[in-house]
Structure 1
Amino acid sequence: MGSVGLLFVGAVLFINGVMLLGWVDEKSAAPMNFFVGGLQIITPTYLIFTANGDANAILAASGLYLFSFTYLYVALNITLGLDGTGLGYFCLFVFVSALVFSWLNFTRFADPGFGVIWLYWAFLWLLFFLLLGLKQERLGRYTGAVCAIQGWVTGWLPALLLLTGGYAAMSGTVAVVLAIFGLVVFGGLYPVLGRRSPGSVPAAPGPQVSA
């Protein structure tokens, strides 16, 4: 069930990313944030209630709420026209938590693939904090590009591998490939998009306006 949720996390990250890039109007992105935010409430709740007290299963499922609350926060900010500062500081909380979940995947869960994926998410939510919480407007387009790309490589791709049974044998390979990909692509995009003149400060991960 978590793999299905991850597939649609990929979709909402992509939508929020292209919203930040200015390709999609923010109001048209709000429904997807509501849909996926709701799904990511139902999924971990189901997994926790059916875990039969398995501490590792409950721990793994608990991290999903970080994303569901982000997407619902985004949707409400867009719908109600709220300032994005509160969301930005929540993203700081998510950033710190994602670092912990990354470490847990490398150690407790012995899953280096998702260890790297959680580092990707930590980086993205750090960008959201800088953009929304600290109003670093120059990062808007760079954050959008990172968000859109992460929708494919941290959501869509691992979800398909999990759903088709191909992930378990490839976790180490996924970790190495994503680590190299992230350093090269995100590092290469920053000089192009990260230093552009600022636009308007977003109310959510998407341009008014984002993981």
Structure 2
Amino acid sequence: MFGLILIYVGLVLINNGLAGVIGFDKKATAVLNLICGCIIFFFNVVSAVLLVTSGAQSTSFFGPAVGFLFAITYFFLFANTVFSLDVRPFGYFCLFVCINALIAAYLDKANLYALLIWIAWAFFWFLGFVECSLNKSLGKFSSYVAIAEGIFTGWLPGLLILLGLWSW
């Protein structure tokens, strides 16, 4: 399931990044944010249900917990775009997710690639905090980071997992 989720993480990051670089209407990204958020949410619910029914230890739920943070990110982006909400709460949410991503990086420290991916995601969420809550414009930098992270932390790892060429 994780490879499938990563494909959609990559897709939405690339799309959101292109919106910032090319300059098309961000409302055009809202639908894809909603769709990807729903897909990610669904598969994390399935994962959590499988863990519950198997009698897994509470530590096993960290994966779905951070997975839900991804889904909420895309739901939040959808709502902010469609309803023109104040983005400061989203920025503080990004800081919270950044901290959790750093914890995940520490937990995945034995897997160098997973560690680097979590650090990259933490960095990107930190950029969200800087731009949205601190109101510091980073120009198109965040958009370029979104595209790069979409390719190298989402789409390609997801594809490699689905093809059986890499395991997280």
For Structure 1 versus Structure 2, the TM-score category normalised by the shorter chain is: over 0.9
Root mean square deviation, CA, Å: 1.3
1:25-174 counterparts in 2 under 5 A?
Answer: 25-51=25-51, 52-55=54-57, 57-106=60-109, 110-137=110-137, 139-168=138-167
- Residues in 2 aligned to 1:112 and 1:61: alpha-carbon distance in whole angstroms: 21
- Residues in 1 aligned to 2:158 and 2:34: alpha-carbon distance in whole angstroms: 20
- Residues in 2 aligned to 1:2 and 1:129: alpha-carbon distance in whole angstroms: 26
- Residues in 2 aligned to 1:21 and 1:131: alpha-carbon distance in whole angstroms: 16
On the 8 A contact 1:14/1:147 being kept in 2, the answer is yes
- Residues in 1 aligned to 2:13 and 2:122: alpha-carbon distance in whole angstroms: 14
The residue identity in structure 2 corresponding to 1:90 is F
Match of residue 205 from structure 1? none
**Structure index of larger Rg:** 1
The residue identity in structure 2 corresponding to 1:82 is L
Secondary structure at 2:46 match in 1: helix
2:9 aligned with 1:9, yes or no?
yes
Q: For residues 23-80 of structure 1, what are the alpha-carbon distances to aligned partners after superposition, in whole Å with 9 as ceiling and x for unaligned?
A: 3210110000000111111111100111213335422222111111011000001110
The residue identity in structure 1 corresponding to 2:140 is R
Task: Compute the TM-score of the two structures, normalised by the length of structure 1.
Answer: 0.75
Secondary structure at 1:50 match in 2: helix
- Residues in 1 aligned to 2:105 and 2:98: alpha-carbon distance in whole angstroms: 11
1:22 CA displacement: 4.1
- Residues in 1 aligned to 2:160 and 2:153: alpha-carbon distance in whole angstroms: 11
| Count of matched residue positions in the alignment of Structure 1 and Structure 2 | 165
The residue identity in structure 2 corresponding to 1:148 is I
- Residues in 1 aligned to 2:154 and 2:128: alpha-carbon distance in whole angstroms: 18
Q: For residues 100-147 of structure 1, what are the alpha-carbon distances to aligned partners after superposition, in whole Å with 9 as ceiling and x for unaligned?
A: 0110111xxx3222111000000000011101110111x131011001
- Residues in 1 aligned to 2:55 and 2:160: alpha-carbon distance in whole angstroms: 27
